Amino acid sequence: MAKDPGWKATIDLGTPAVVFAMGTDHYGHGCLNAIRTLGRMGVAVTGIHNTALTPPATSRYARSRTVIPTEAMPRSETLDRLLDIGTRLRRPVLVVTDDTTASFVDDHQGVLQERFRLAVLTPGLMKSLVDKAALHELCGKHGVPSPLTSCPSSREEAGAFAQGAQFPVIVKRRVPTHPRKRPKSSLNTVIAHNPAELLNAWDELEGLTSPNVLLQEYIRGGQQAAWGYTGYFGANGRCLFVGTVCKLRDYPSGRGSSSFARQEESTELADLASNFFRDIGYLGPVDTCWRRDSEGRFYLLDVNTRLGANFRAFTNSAGVDVVRAQYLEQTGQELPDGHPMVGRTWVAEPFDLWTTRELRRTGGLPRGTWLRTLLGSDELAYWAWDDPVPFLAMSALTALLPAYRGLIHTPWVDGLLQRRHFDRQTRV
C-alpha cells in the first residue's frame, strides 16, 4: 500500500461515515475497501453488516461495527435501526456498497437525508437506471449506444425469439434486486450460444412474480473490449471525479465484475458517460460497465447507482477514489487535483483465481498466470500489509464455504460475535 498523499492532513475529519451493506455478497470487497479508504484518511468509520461472518467486518479501520440481519427482519425495523445510528453519529456520510442497499436507500431517501449526508436522486431515476430495459430506452433518448434489447413476457416468447436470433445472445436479469424463482441461484448473466442454452438461462434467471429476464445483443470486440467507468457527481451535476479502466479479466469469465483491471485513460468514454449522467441529473457515485466493439464504439451495458466493488482500480494520482470524493463533497470540502494513473493494476484475488483456472482449462492462459498477476499488481482487493486480517477471513471463507453458508445467519453466532466484538459503538 503506497503512502497516502499529504493533502489528507489538511482536511476536516470531524464528520464520521457509515458504510452500509445489506446484500448477500459476503466476500464484500467493495465494502471492505470503502472502510479502508476512509479509515486510512482518519475518518471514524462505522461498518454495518448483514452478518458478523464477513471479511469487511474484520478490518481494523472500522472504529465501530454492528450487525443488522436485514434478510431476517422487516424493512421497517432495518430503517429504524439505521435511523438510530444516524442520530447517534450526528448525521454521518452514508456510503452504500451493493444493489440491495442502494435500492433500500432510494426508497427511504426522504427520511434518511435528515439523519445522514447522502446524494438525493430525482424520484424514479434510480429505477430507470437499474432496470436494464428502461436503461436501454434512456440511452436511446440521450444518444448513448447500447446493445439491441428484447424483453419477452414468457418462456414461449423467448423460444420464438431464439429461433431467429443471431447467437451468442446475452441473457440477464432485468432488475437485479427482484426476487428469483430459484432463490439459490447466484447467476445474473449468461452468454447463450444456441436456443437450448437461452431457454436454460431463462429458467435459471426467471423472476418470482414476473419474467424479469432480458435478452441482449452480444457486442463483439477485440482483446480490450470490456471497460469500466466510475464517477462522482456533486451539487448541480458537477462531475468531481472520473476514472476509466480496461477489464482484463472478470468473474464469471466474460460476463461478470472485474477480477483484474488496468487503469487506462479514455477521454472518449469519460466524456460520453459523464455527459450522459450530467444530462439526466444524476447525483452521487456511479459505476458502469461498457463494451467496445471492433470499430472502437462504446456501448453501455449496466449501471450501478452506487460505488463499484472495484472502485479502488480508478484511484488517481492524488490518492482520490470515488469514496473519498463522496466524503469530501458531502462535508463541503474541495477535492485535490489529480490525473489518471495509466497502467495502474488492481486484482480481486479469489475471483481472479477462479477465472484464471477456468481460462487455463480452456487453453486460454499458461500456468502461473494468477500468481504473476498478483505479484505484479499495484493493489489487491483483500491483502494489505496494514490490514491483513480481512485476507485471512476471505481465505477461511473460501476454504470453508459450505459450512460458512450454514452459519452466516445462525442467531447464536451473530449474537456471540456482536457481543464480543461488534458492539463497540462510537459514543457521542
Dihedral over alpha carbons 240, 89, 387, 25 (to 10 degrees): -80
How far apart (Å, rounded) are the C-alpha atoms in residues 287 and 266? 16
pLDDT winner (highest mean) among 82-86, 162-166, 233-237, 420-424: 82-86
The fold adopted by the segment(s) 148-217 is Dna Ligase; domain 1 (3.30.1490)
Cα–Cα distances in angstroms (integers) from residue 166 to residues 169, 192, 215, 265, in the given order: 7, 10, 12, 33
Confidence at 422, pLDDT banded by 50, 70, 90: very low
Cα–Cα nearest to 389, from 58, 28, 36, 30 = 58
Cα–Cα distances in angstroms (integers) from residue 34 to residues 31, 43, 141, 323, in the given order: 5, 11, 34, 6
Average model confidence (pLDDT) for the chain? 90
Kindly tell me if the per-residue pLDDT of 104 is higher than 50. yes
Q: What is the CA radius of gyration of the chain?
A: 21
Specify the higher pLDDT residue, 236 or 290. 290
At 317-357, the pLDDT tens digits run 999 999 999 999 999 999 999 999 999 999 999 999 999 99
Kindly tell me if the per-residue pLDDT of 411 is higher than 80. no
Cell of 241: 471525479
How far apart (Å, rounded) are the C-alpha atoms in residues 32 and 5? 21
At 170-193, the pLDDT tens digits run 999 999 989 888 887 778 999 999
Q: What is the pLDDT of residue 70?
A: 85
Residues facing residue 149 across a β-bridge: 216
Q: What is the CATH number of domain 221-383?
A: 3.30.470.20
DSSP 106: H
Within the chain, all domains assigned CATH 3.30.470.20 are found at: 221-383
Average pLDDT over residues 55-61: 95
Specify the higher pLDDT residue, 30 or 52. 30
Q: What is the pLDDT of residue 417?
A: 47
How far from the centroid of its chain's Cα atoms is residue 316's Cα?
A: 19
- Count the neighbouring beta carbons within 10 Å of the beta carbon of residue 362: 8
Q: Cα–Cα–Cα angle for 390, 395, 400, nearest 5°?
A: 125
Q: Please state whether 381 falls in left (phi above 0), alpha (psi between -120 and 50) or beta.
A: alpha
Kindly tell me if the per-residue pLDDT of 4 is higher than 70. no
Name every residue whose Cβ is closer than 8 Å to that of residue 327 and which is 6 or more positions away in sequence.
Answer: 15, 17, 38, 41, 43, 93, 95
Q: What is the pLDDT of residue 280?
A: 96
Task: Tell me if residue 147 falls in helix, strand or coil.
Answer: coil
DSSP string, 246-313: EEEEEESTTTSEEEEEEE---HHHHHHHHHHHHHTT--EEEEEEEEE-TTS-EEEEEEESS--TTGGG
The fold adopted by the segment(s) 15-118+388-428 is Rossmann fold (3.40.50)
Q: Is residue 93 within 8 Å of 331, Cβ to Cβ? A: yes
HEC per residue, 350-406: HHHHHHHHHHHHCCCCCCCHHHHHHHHCCEECCCCCCCCHHHHHHHHHHHCHHHHHH
Residues facing residue 244 across a β-bridge: 229
Cα–Cα distances in angstroms (integers) from residue 167 to residues 171, 199, 346, in the given order: 11, 13, 32
Q: What is the pLDDT of residue 213?
A: 95
Cα-Cα-Cα-Cα dihedral sign, residues 314, 318, 323, 325: negative
Share of the chain above pLDDT 90, in %: 75
How far apart (Å, rounded) are the C-alpha atoms in residues 325 and 346? 19
Burial 180-213 (b: 16+ CB within 10 A, else e): beeeeeebbbbbbeebebbbebbebbbeeeebbb
Kindly tell me if the per-residue pLDDT of 363 is higher than 90. no
pTM above 0.85, yes or no: yes
The residue with cell 434510480 is: 126
Q: What is the pLDDT of residue 63?
A: 94
